[in-house]
Amino acid sequence: MVIIGVYILLNLIAFAAYGIDKIKAKSDMWRTPEKTLLTLAFFGPFGGYSAMQIFRHKTQKQPFPTLVPLFLGLHIILIIVAAVLLSGIVSF
């Protein structure tokens, strides 16, 4: 359960970081480095991808529209594999 909580927290942090960066972009303030946003999206892709769509932020600037959906797809696959292995349907 702790792992799930940490995973949810990472996604919330990624979501917030993208939202804050969008506000900073509109206000001409110091921005969050792209490497930081991509790292957060790697560990919290649901939050990163959702924020990109909701805030319309980084949707055109490469590598965001390529990498963030890729990270999301990878996490979906890993979650499915983990669920199958933990359910005992398949064992190695």
Q: What is the pLDDT of residues 22-78, one digit of tens each?
A: 999 999 999 999 999 999 999 999 999 999 999 999 999 999 999 999 999 999 999
CA distance 48 to 21: 12
**Max intra-chain CA distance, the chain:** 53
CA distance 91 to 18: 39
Quick check: helix, strand or coil at residue 61? Answer: coil
pTM exceeding 0.85: yes
Measured CA distances, 28 to 4, 10, 34, 57 (Å) = 36, 26, 16, 15
